[in-house]
Amino acid sequence: MAVRVDGSKCVYCAGCVSVCPFLALTLNEVKIIVDEKKCTECGTCVKACPAKALSLPKKISG
């Protein structure tokens, strides 16, 4: 599991890339690529994204 990108909201600003402590994100021209092996779901990028295009997967309880 890893952070999810809503491509229809993303404005390719690279803000998320800049704050990810685990270098898990890459902006390739017009697409954010998430390295699922590196993402720890820490949520930092979700808070930084000015377009609110990122979200964490909902935890399945129980």
Partner 1 sequence: MEEYDAVVVGAGPAGTTFAAEAASRGMSVVVIDKKKELGSPVRCGEGIGIDFSSGRKLELPRSCIASDIEGALMFSPNGKSIKLTTPQTKGHVLERKIFDKFLAMEAGRKGAHILPRTMATGLLKENGKIAGVKAVSFGEEIEFKAPLVVSAEGMEAKLAREAGIDALATLYDVDTCYEYEMVNVPCEPFIEIYFGSAAPRGYVWVFPKGKDVANVGIGVGGSSGADPKKCLDEWIARNPRMKKAEIIEVKAGIISVGAPVKKMVADNFMAVGTSAHQVDPVHGGGIALAMKAARIAAEVAAKAHSARDFSEKTLSAYETQWRAAESRKLEKRLLLRKVLEKLSDDDFNAVIGMIDSQDLEKLLSGDFKPIVTKVVAKRPSILKVATALLG
Residues that bind partner 1 (CB under 8 A): 11-15, 17-19, 21, 23, 26-29, 44, 47-52
SS (H, E, C) 15-60: HHHHHCCCCCEEECCCCEEECCCCCCCCCHHHHHCCCCCEECCCCC
47 binds, among partner 1, ligand SF4, none (CB under 5 to 8 A by kind): partner 1
Q: Which of residues 17-46 bind ligand SF4 (CB under 6 A)?
A: 20, 22, 24-25, 27, 32, 34, 39-45
Return phi, psi of residue 60, to 5°: -85, 120
Return phi, psi of residue 51, to 5°: -100, 5
Chain residues in the site for ligand SF4 (CB under 6 A)? 2-3, 5, 10-16, 20, 22, 24-25, 27, 32, 34, 39-45, 49, 51, 53-54
